[in-house]
Each structure stands twice: as C-alpha cells, then as structure tokens.
Amino acid sequence: MKRSLVQSILLYGCALLLAAFTTGPLLWLAVMSISAPTDLTEVPLRWIPSELDFSRYTSLLSLEGGNGERFLSALRNSLLTAGGATVIALLLAIPAAYAFSRRQASMVLLFAFLATIMMPPITYVLPLYSTFSSFGMLNHTVTLIIVYTAMLLPFATWLMKANIDVLPVEVEQAAFMEGAGTAYTIRQVVLPLALPAIAATAMLSFLVAWDEFFYALIFTNDLSAKTLPVAIADFSAGRVTDYGVIASVGVLATLPPAILAIAFQKFIVSGLVAGSVKG
C-alpha cells in the first residue's frame, strides 16, 4: 500500500494549503506590526515592508506615553486575573475532581457543574454586577478572579476528573493500605501522578481566562483592572489610525497563549482526549 506520486502531490498540496490558511493571518498581523504606517495604506498592499519599524513595540513596552501604560497595565491585569483564577480554580477543582472520580459524587452534580458554565454569561452578568456593585467590588482584579475562577472551575474539575479516572486506583489503595489518609494520599500519590493533567488543565484554564472579554468589559473601567481583551478592543476602536499599533498589540497579546499552546501541545491533546473523547 504505497503512496502514488499523485497522492503524494495531493497530500503535500493540502498540507501547504492548510499551513498557509492557519499561519497566513498571523503572519500578516506580524508583518503589519513592523511595517511603516504608509505601507499599510497603500493600494494594493505592500506585502513586504519597505522598512522594518519596531517603534510600536518600543512604545508599547515602555511606560512612557499613553499606549505603553495602557498596554502594560492591561498585561499586568490579565496575568494577575488569568493566573490567579487558574491557580484558585485548580486548588478547588482537584479535591472536587477527586470526589467525583474516587468518592462517587453523583455524575448529575458534575453535569450541573458543567451546565453552569455552558449557560451564556448574559444569564449571570446583571445579578453579579449588582452584587459586586453593592459590595463596592467592581473594577477590581479580585472580582474578575472570583468570576473567572467560577467560570474555570467546572471545566477544570471535569478535565481533572477524567484524568484522575484513568489513574490506577490500586496505587491509591496501596497508600491507604500503608496507612496514609486521604489528604496525604492526594498530595503524595495522586498529584504527582496527575501532574501532566494538572499542567494541561492549568494551561487550558489560563487560556480561557486570558481570552475572556464579556465580564471584563462590564466589570472593569480603568487601568487598575482592565484586562488585555478590553484594552485591545479600546485600542482598535479609538483614535488609532496606525493599524500597525493595533497589530502589534495583537501580536503581543497572542504571544503568551501561543507559546503556552505550542509548548504544551502534547498536554492539550491528552487533556482534550481525556476530557472530550472520554467524556
């Protein structure tokens, strides 16, 4: 069952097409970010920049001037919220997942868990808004962390459960037989075994939180709490005539998740497989 020449050509053709389709828009974004402003308003477009212009990156990465301050504080807020929510969500999800996986907590409850995040955010946003408002908690990173944690939790629990399910139960039983308690067993036996799953879950959670826009749009209003997606939306709608600036913000905002995704590509597969393939 060898491949014929025609088949090979077809195969490589499709592969190239796919590569172009997936990377094309990203490459273009990157090119825009380093093209001179005038290159970007030529008709028809110049695909290769006439000169390399890294000025947007310098200005975005320095605290001088409005753009840099806006971008950097949004970056800080995004890292804080996504990171904080990921950590807390995992801390809560691991015991919960253990309960679902090993203590026969009802699956119906797990699905109730899941159903909550599947509901559109507009279902929750107004009461949450009023509540946080009455506690004076709007426009705080903590508030977003709370909301994101809740948003990530079911998903993280589900992934962790699916992954704990496939761990050999005998190893835990062995620990119990040796006299260890549940907490000790989870810490010393389950967690080390589930480390790849935890990494996958953490990464997927982080990406989801990093991506969130709706709550951030409504719950934050200034530099102290605004996250990157909201900042980018502001950037792109405001008085920015240089598309290169928008493009460079986009590139910078994509870098962290893209690096994570590529670095943890194997984990995504295992995470997703355990999660969605196994159910």
Partner 1 sequence: MNAAMPQDPILQISRLQKRYGDVNVLKDIDISMAPGEFLVLVGPSGCGKSTLLSCISGLTDISSGTICIAGKDRTNDEPADRDIAMVFQSYALFPNMSVERNIGFGLEVRKVEEAEKKRKVAEVADLLKIEHLLHRRPAELSGGQRQRVAMGRALVREPKLFLFDEPLSNLDAKLRVTMRTEIKRIHQTTGASIVYVTHDQIEAMTLASRIVVMKDGVVQQIGTPQEIYNKPVNAFVADFMGAPSMNLMTGTATREGDHLRLQIPTPEGPPLELFDYGPGPETLSAGGTAELTIGLRPEAMTDLGLRSGGIDGRSLQSADCLLDVVEPAGADTYAVIQLGGTEAVARLSADAPVTAGQRVPIAFDLSKISYFDIASGNRL
Partner 2 sequence: DTTLNALFMSQAAYSEDDIKSMTAKFEEANPGVTVALEFVPYEALHDKIIAAAGAGDDGYDVVLFDVIWPAEFATRGFLQDVTDRIPADYTDKVFDGAWTTVEYDGKRYGMPWILDTKYLFYNADMLAEAGISAPPKTWAELAEQAKQIKDKGIVEFPLVWSWSQSEAMICDFTTLTAANDGAFFDEGQPAFTAGGAKDAVSFMKATLDEGLSNPSSREYFEEDVRRVFSNGEAAFALNWTYMNALANDPKESKVAGKVKVAPAPGAEGKSTASSVNGSMGLGIPANSPHADEAWAYISFLTQKDVQDNYAKLSLPIWKASYSEPKVIEGQEDLIAAAKESIAVMYPRPLVPSYTEVSDILQKNIHQVLLGQASVDEALEAAADRVKRIR
Partner 3 sequence: MLGRRQKREKWILLAPALALLALVTLIPLANTLWLSFTDTRISALPEPVHFIGLENYVYALTDPDFQDALFRTLYFTIVSVGLEGILGVAVAVLLNQEFRGRTLLRALIILPWAVPTIVNAVAWRLIYHPDYGALNSLLFQLGLISDYRSWIGDPATAMNMVILADVWKNFPLVAYVALAALQTVPGDLNKAAAIEGAGPWKRFRSITLPWIAGPLMVVMVLRTIEAFRVFDIIYVMTGGGPADSTKTASFYVYQEYFNYLRSGSGASYAVLVAGISAVLIVFYYSATKRQTAGGAA
User: Is there binding between residue 180 and partner 1 (CB under 8 A)?
Assistant: yes
Q: Which does 116 bind (CB under 5 to 8 A by kind): partner 3, partner 1, partner 2, none?
A: partner 3
CA distance 113 to 158: 9
- Burial code of 162-192, b = ≥16 C-beta within 10 A, e = fewer? bbbeebeeeebeebeeeebeeeebbeebbee
Q: Which does 222 bind (CB under 5 to 8 A by kind): partner 2, partner 3, partner 1, none?
A: partner 2
| Of the candidate residues 36, 193, 217, 218, the single one contacting partner 1 (CB under 8 A) | 193
Other CB atoms within 10 A of residue 97 CB: 27
CA distance 32 to 277: 39
Q: Which is nearer to partner 3, 64 or 271 (CB)?
A: 271
E strand segments, 41-92: none
Which residue in this structure is represented by tokens 């260890």? 180
| Of the candidate residues 21, 168, 277, 279, the single one contacting partner 1 (CB under 8 A) | 168
| Of the candidate residues 48, 222, 262, 279, the single one contacting partner 2 (CB under 8 A) | 222
Q: Which stretch binds partner 1 (CB under 8 A): 30-38, 73-81, 172-180, 267-275?
A: 172-180
Q: Which does 54 bind (CB under 5 to 8 A by kind): partner 3, partner 2, partner 1, none?
A: none
Residues 230/238, Cβ–Cβ less than 8 Å: no
| Of the candidate residues 60, 93, 110, 189, the single one contacting partner 1 (CB under 8 A) | 189
Residues 97/164, Cβ–Cβ less than 8 Å: yes
User: Is there binding between residue 173 and partner 1 (CB under 8 A)?
Assistant: yes
CB of 130 to partner 2, least distance (A): 7
CA distance 51 to 37: 10
C-alpha to C-alpha distances, 16 to 22, 26, 225, 262, nearest whole angstrom: 10, 15, 42, 19
CB of 128 to partner 3, least distance (A): 5
Which residues here bind partner 1, judged by CB under 8 A?
1-2, 168, 170-171, 173-181, 184, 188-189, 192-193
